[in-house]
Chain A
């Protein structure tokens, strides 16, 4: 009996110790809303993968807590007068988690690797501003040394661009530009991403990776700024079920939930007003018009269809998360741009807009006797369906347009858009980098398949080319604004709203700063017991 009791005591003590230790370790639990396709930053393509990659690796530049660009692995840089040659000085104390120094060679290696056609990196095109990359990636050039990245010495890296790219420093925060541990990747091949093998240069290291479950990171003691990193462990859960993740948040099993079920917005606003953080986000929700074929080839039809859609009703009664009604292509609050542009009819009273639209439809040859019939395609989702129904009824009521709703699963939907087998189609664009070019390029002829509607306008293309070679930021902004004006006047697409980010943030989580990129690196946050 005595024995038994002491055993129980020992057991109790050790449990207390273990749980005490577990509490002492500061852990951030993130509902990441997506299973990573891979942990190799060069083959990623999703925002949920970015959250993991940005904790593991540190690019030449990186994001501060508020999303602004700050020095990362590079401590300083200089830019040539024509804006095409960047010389980066790497931090002397930048090391990989195994203690090996991070060198300029690691960057050169990474940029050659991502451009290798055999690697088939989906997002390689983001780095096409670097000289020679596009040629190598498309197989036209087989000499990888033609890529404009050169190690001057161990800690000096020179990058040569095709044309001045004002958003280049911003682009370097993106995971496609992260350095790779050459010494590990060359030895382990594709297995270098496995826990135990992967070596990183960011604030965290990989400790566990279970497909369909979670990715676990622990603090990297070799990180140059480790003394300021408070959270010791980060657990990313990949489950996409937003309602279940909200439940786990409410049960205290999650500290940060990166998206919510739109149908829950009213409840959450009421019940968790301090936890729900809604903030403008660099993203555009829009309908693309088929500009090459069918009735929407006529700009008058496009304009009429766009004019009668009441964005206020859609954002206030349908999507309801505080989205910003959109009348332009570039979201407000973006860098390197002036005032956000609007359609000239945006502020006109509704009756006047409807009258104008009716007239346009008549000119295009449609009327009560001959109503316009078209298909409105969207990818299957409750939210997209509700908006499509609202738009359909607005078209019907104001213009007598008979729109048939067609929903397809997301792969088939975008496949249909690419093949041009649609008339009006839902689309969305989230910025890859904080620059208007990332939105305006969607309407360039040379963009190809991401220009879903095959909009093509010679003046637009010329302006965008000109903007690409203009170093002066103010002048460049003016040129791009001219292009955006053409896109808006021609109604190349129908903007509906600018996205907002929707996070559930525990009261215990400090250091979370809402920002337009919705990027929140764990190194800036901490968990404080209330």
Chain B
């Protein structure tokens, strides 16, 4: 298994390199630069700036400079946030985004699996219909509608929870819930569908014919098998929850890294965007690897070769 992990890590290097190269050159092709604004700079001042950030060098040299820095763990200085390096920005924001993402995935899997299982066992009952209609709504209503509605209701009108900010425990509840909601819905639907399928399969029928009670069938046989699609969803879901919390982070004013993807691109903050691309690519590769390992634990048919 360790050989499998090592192999996967090695094969990640060329993937990362390609992602970096594409992002680097695409950013430079995009019109507009980091120093364009409504206050146009005096030519001498712009020349000073370009020199300070090595933008006066040929592109291949800039790319080489970036790769050399990256190999040493240096993401370079941010063009926009001058008091911080990209590394510092990520280090400050990542723990926040990570805890938010993991928290929401945890809530989503617990609640989603529970709801999905209940719905599957009571297929076509009233509970099933209510749960699945709720799930459909949860998937269909986007975050940027749900989050403001929640803040308006629970924050402004009822005054129960703070509308925004970060640092106090009560400030975590609304964003976490808003982020988890569509995921709960998605996991619930996935679980329901796969559980229904598993319940119809031969090994469950065998278990039933042995006279096993329902809850043992569920706990010992059905649960593991029906979680496979949920597990494969978890990897990309966690990675994307970290960077796609853009909307949530901006609505609740959370100092995570999700907003850097958008802000970095809008500001033509070349180094910040690059740092985010590297981070995101690495996270996806990492979480996919974890998911593959989880697969092996859950499904005896999977072997690491």
A contact set with B: CB distance below 8 Å: 35, 37-40, 43, 45, 117-125, 137-139, 190, 193-194, 209-214, 237, 239, 241, 243-244, 247-248, 250-251, 253, 408-416, 418, 427-429, 448-450, 452
Residues of A within 8 A of B255 (CB): 210-214
- Complex Cα gap A139–B45 (Å): 10
Inter-subunit contact A418/B42 (CB<8 Å): no
Q: Which secondary structure dominates where chain B touches chain A? A: loop
Residues of B within 8 A of A452 (CB): 40
Residues of B within 8 A of A213 (CB): 166, 253-255
Query: C-beta contact mask, B221-261 vs A, less than 8 Å → 1, else 0?
Result: 00000000000000000000000000000111111100110
- Complex Cα gap A35–B155 (Å): 24
Which 10 residue pairs spanning A and B have beta carbons closest together? A411-B32, A213-B255, A138-B44, A449-B40, A412-B32, A38-B82, A120-B48, A212-B255, A120-B49, A120-B52
- Complex Cα gap A428–B83 (Å): 28
Inter-subunit contact A415/B48 (CB<8 Å): no
From residue 80 to 112 of chain B, which have CB atoms closer than 8 A to chain A? Answer: 80-84, 89, 92-93
A37, A194, A212 — most chain B CB neighbours (10 Å): A212
Evaluate whether A212 and B256 lie within 8 angstroms (CB atoms) in the complex, with A244-B164, A250-B156 already known.
Answer: yes
Number of B interface residues in the complex (CB < 8 A): 52
Query: C-beta contact mask, B37-78 vs A, less than 8 Å → 1, else 0?
Result: 111111111011101100000000000000000000000000
Q: Does B192 contact A (CB under 8 A)?
A: no
Inter-subunit contact A43/B162 (CB<8 Å): no
Q: Does B163 contact A (CB under 8 A)?
A: yes
Q: Does B152 contact A (CB under 8 A)?
A: yes
- Complex Cα gap A409–B32 (Å): 9
Q: Does B296 contact A (CB under 8 A)?
A: no
Inter-subunit contact A428/B268 (CB<8 Å): no
**22 pairs, CB–CB < 8 Å, chain A vs chain B:** A43-B82, A117-B48, A121-B45, A122-B41, A124-B45, A138-B42, A211-B89, A211-B93, A212-B89, A212-B255, A237-B165, A239-B164, A248-B164, A251-B155, A251-B156, A411-B34, A411-B36, A412-B36, A415-B31, A415-B36, A416-B31, A427-B38
- Complex Cα gap A118–B53 (Å): 10
Which chain B residue lies CB-closest to A38? B82
Q: Does B271 contact A (CB under 8 A)?
A: no
Residues of A within 8 A of B142 (CB): none
- Complex Cα gap A125–B40 (Å): 11
- Complex Cα gap A408–B230 (Å): 41
Residues of B within 8 A of A418 (CB): 36, 40
Residues of B within 8 A of A413 (CB): 32
B36, B37, B83, B256 — most chain A CB neighbours (10 Å): B83
Inter-subunit contact B83/A125 (CB<8 Å): no
Taking the closest CB of chain A, its distance from the CB of B42, in whole angstroms, is 5
Inter-subunit contact B32/A415 (CB<8 Å): yes
Inter-subunit contact B163/A253 (CB<8 Å): yes
Inter-subunit contact A247/B44 (CB<8 Å): no
Q: Which of B39, B47, B162 contacts A251 (CB 8 A)?
A: B162
Q: Does B141 contact A (CB under 8 A)?
A: no
